[in-house]
Amino acid sequence: ATPTALMVGTNRAAKLGVLLKNGEVLQKMTTVTTVVFDKTGTITTGQPVVTDIIGDDPQQVLQVAASLEKDSEHPLASAIMERAQADHVAVQAVADFMAHSGQGVMARLNGKPALIGNAKLTKNLAMKSSFQDQLRKLQAQAKTVVIVGYAGQVIGLIAIQDTPQPQAQAAIAALKKQGMQTVMLTGDSHRVAQAIAQQVGIDEVLAEVSPNEKANQIAALRHQGVVAFVGDGINDAPALTMADVGIAMGSGTDIAIESGDVVLVHNDLYGVVKALAISRKTFSRIK
C-alpha cells in the first residue's frame, strides 16, 4: 500500500466518524472474519431504565437497592438511582461497601448484610419460587434482572431494560451479508443475551462471562479467525487490546479510546461496516 492510498483511506474514514490509529489497522481490517460485540453500551444504548420492581414491599426493595448502588459506577446503578429519585425514595447510609466486578455490590445496611446483583452474587440466599418464575419471565423479555437481598433473604427483583442502538440491526445485517461471523460477549445472563441477540440478528452468544474472562474468550476466537471486538471499555478494555482489531465506541471510557485501534466517534455501530468497507476499497485499488 502506498502511503498516499493509506492517507486517503484514513481521511475518508475520519470524515465518516471512524478514527483509525494508524495505517496498519486499515490493512488488518481487510482480513477480519469475526466481529464480536460487547452488549451493554455497545449493542445497547447503555442508558438502562428500571421497568419492574418485584417484591412484597417494592418501596423497600428500591430503597435497599438505591442505598447499595449510590457509590457504584455501573450503568445499572444509574438506572436504579434515577428511579429512586423519581419515586422520592430516600437513600440510607451503608457501611463496608464492596463492588464485585461483573456481579454486583454488597454492603451493610442498618447493621445487616445487604446485596444487589446477579445470581452468582446471591447464590447463598434462598429465593422463593414466585421470584424464580418472575426472574425467568422478565429475562425472556430481554430485561436484565438484579436480585436484591437483605438480612439473609431475597426481598425482591428489579428489572432493567436497555434497548438496542437504532443502527444495531442494520449494521449486523450488513456484516453478515459480507460473510462475517457475529458474536455477542456479555456478563449478563444467557436468557437476556439471547433475547437481545435475537432482536438485532447476532448469531452466537457468549454470556455470563466475567470481566476477567472476556479477553480469554477473544483469544480463543482468534484461533478460528481474525477477530474485531467492539466495546465501550466498561469491563472490556482487555478484550479490546486482545482482539486483532479493537473498535471503541466514542461514548466509551478513556481507556477504551486508548485501547482501541479504531474509534467510532458518532457511537454509531454502522461505523463498523463503513470501516471494513473503506479498508477493502483502499487495498483493492492498490492491487
Measured CA to CA, the distance from residue 260 to residue 283 in angstroms comes to 22
Verify binding: residue 238, ligand ADP, rule CB under 6 A. Answer: no
Residues 117-136: x where in contact with ligand ADP by CB under 6 A, - otherwise, as a string: xx------------------
Verify binding: residue 155, ligand ADP, rule CB under 6 A. Answer: no
Buried b (16+ CB within 10 A) or exposed e, 228-250: bbbbbbbbbbbbbbbbbbbbbbb
Q: Which residues contact 73 (CB under 8 A, 6 or more apart)?
A: none
Q: How far is the CB of 147 from ligand ADP (least distance, A)?
A: 8
State yes or no: is 38 an active-site residue: yes
For ligand ADP, the binding residue among 167, 182, 186, 279 (CB under 6 A) is 186
Verify binding: residue 174, Mg ion, rule CB under 5 A. Answer: no
Judged on CB neighbours under 10 Å (0-12, 13-18, 19+), 2 is exposed
Verify binding: residue 189, Mg ion, rule CB under 5 A. Answer: no
Verify binding: residue 211, ligand ADP, rule CB under 6 A. Answer: yes
First to last CA, the chain: 8
Instruction: Check if the beta carbon of residue 209 is closer than 8 Å to that of residue 184.
Output: no
162 binds, among ligand ADP, Mg ion, none (CB under 5 to 8 A by kind): none
Verify binding: residue 40, Mg ion, rule CB under 5 A. Answer: yes
Verify binding: residue 116, ligand ADP, rule CB under 6 A. Answer: yes
136's grid cell = 425467568
Element (H, E) at 98: strand 95-100
Which range in 3-11, 49-57, 69-77, 246-254 contacts ligand ADP by CB under 6 A?
A: 69-77
Which range in 66-74, 218-226, 255-263, 267-275 contacts ligand ADP by CB under 6 A?
A: 66-74
Q: Which residues would be at the binding site for Mg ion (CB under 5 A)? A: 38, 40-41, 234
